[in-house]
Amino acid sequence: MMVTRSKSSGLLKLVEERLLKKKTEEEKKEAQISYIPKDCISNILARLPADSLQRSRFVCKPWYNVVKNPKFIHAHLQRSESVLIFLTPNVKESLHPISKKIKVGENGRSYPMASNLQEKQNKIPVESKLFYPNSIPIFGHPALNSPKNFIQFLEFKNGKSDIGEYGLSCLGNNIRATCNGLILLDNKLKKGGVIVLNPVTKKVIALPVGTLCRLLHQESYGFALSDVTGEYKVVHLFLDQLGFAGCEILSLNKKAWREISGPSFGRFGINGFGFAPVSAAGALHWILHFNGSNYVVSMEVDKEKFHQIPLPKSFRTHDRIIEIGGSLGFVIHEDVNHIDIWILKGLSGEGWTKQHSITVDSKIDMVPLCSLRIKGDIIFRRYKDGSFYAYDFQQQQMTEIGKINGLPRCLPHVNSLVTWMQASEDIFD
């Protein structure tokens, strides 16, 4: 009897102690949880890089609502720095007999499994999201089991370049165009088609197939945002056998191709398009031919009208047009250690002004790739060895900042949470 009573009183004491401890813990917690004003939450989240922002969506409902707001996404985009996006081919798996692993399939048979040397992180094939938009396949699709190319980006911070990963692989060999964080890739599962992807949010959509072109260099895609209507437009420019250009446009709101009258100023020759177009000053700009070209073909995004704009000087091998501070810039190698930067004043014949001359440490094979939208530096890459350089306008200095092996085609890009879907559609996958 005595034993039970002391036991029960002991138990009671334990329970009391526990309750008390819990209460003080809760009080301590409450003292620690301070509330931040709502607009400060937007202020804080806007400072995060796009990949952290993507994860922060799932923290709580208020954060989810802040992040999915198109105005917030736009504000975040405006403060995000440019990066270069490119594809890296998957190193061929080693089929050496010793390193061969065996995988057991459903029916008990064994299959050889190639050891993927590069598989430190598991990469999601972009195309699998086209098949299964709302789930993750367990055994994968046979065509997609060997990733062809990995999507990566190069960012520039503190005077050096770093490679960033998206954890995505794709079958296409080309990034066709980029705009505000969205990229256009070849759709290898649908001949002649393209897909629109945001590599940060991993949202992807396949566009209907437009006019088919036999040869790669006879077509080019441009991607731009219309300032007036706020819709994203994909522009498909193509050459026929006679060298005449045709054009069709797809708006991401309506997802149907419509033909527009192409540039009417004569033949473009059979050499076709060398580079992806540059989006600047409310228009898309193409340079045709590699050497000796004398003009830029520009298309106003809103009016969908073509212009032929003469270049201030002839375009040669390592010269390029790039977007600089919202305007179209023409970066030309005048001489050894002499690069000139011209800015286009307008599309209606206003001409170019020579804005700057780089006279330090510039080599003849330095190809300008993009300008950093926040910092303002111009990023160059040497054709000889793939090393990257940044030119700082304030300091007037050219600094080497890194290197990538091989010379993958890089396009200017920005990591953002931009989506083509309307605000009412839920972007929560």
* Residues engaged in binding another protein (CB under 8 A): 31-37, 39-40, 43-45, 47-49, 51-52, 55-56, 101-104, 110, 113, 119, 121-122, 124, 136, 138-140, 167
* C-alpha to C-alpha distance for 70 and 331, rounded to whole angstroms: 35
Nearer to another protein by Cβ, of 51 and 400: the residue is: 51
Structure-token match 């040497």, residue found:
382
What DSSP string describes 309-340?
A: EEEEEEE-TT-EEEEETTEEEEEEEEETTEEE
Nearer to another protein by Cβ, of 14 and 104: the residue is: 104
DSSP strand E in 118-239: where? 124-125, 149-157, 160-170, 175-179, 182-187, 193-198, 203-206, 219-225, 232-239
Closest CA to 83 of 418, 415, 417, 367: 415
Nearer to another protein by Cβ, of 6 and 115: the residue is: 115
Nearer to another protein by Cβ, of 46 and 369: the residue is: 46
Which H or E element spans position 23? helix 2-32
DSSP strand E in 207-349: where? 219-225, 232-239, 245-251, 257-260, 278-280, 283-286, 293-300, 306-315, 320-324, 327-335, 338-344
CB of 136 to another protein, least distance (A): 7
Half-sphere exposure of 372 (CA within 13 A, CB side): 22
Nearer to another protein by Cβ, of 140 and 351: the residue is: 140
CB of 376 to another protein, least distance (A): 17
Q: Classify residue 175 by burial, with Cβ atoms within 10 Å: 0-12, 13-18, 19+.
A: buried
Nearer to another protein by Cβ, of 7 and 103: the residue is: 103
Using an 8 Å Cβ cutoff, are 381 and 320 in contact? no
Which H or E element spans position 358? strand 352-358
Using an 8 Å Cβ cutoff, are 184 and 234 in contact? yes
CB of 126 to another protein, least distance (A): 13
CB of 114 to another protein, least distance (A): 12
CB of 56 to another protein, least distance (A): 7
Q: Classify residue 235 by burial, with Cβ atoms within 10 Å: 0-12, 13-18, 19+.
A: buried
Query: Rounded to the nearest 10 degrees, what angle do helices 38-45 and 70-78 cross at?
Result: 50
Nearer to another protein by Cβ, of 202 and 307: the residue is: 202
CB of 28 to another protein, least distance (A): 10
CB of 32 to another protein, least distance (A): 5
CB of 113 to another protein, least distance (A): 8
CB of 37 to another protein, least distance (A): 5
Nearer to another protein by Cβ, of 76 and 318: the residue is: 76
Query: Rounded to the nearest 10 degrees, what angle do helices 61-68 and 70-78 cross at?
Result: 70
Nearer to another protein by Cβ, of 39 and 425: the residue is: 39
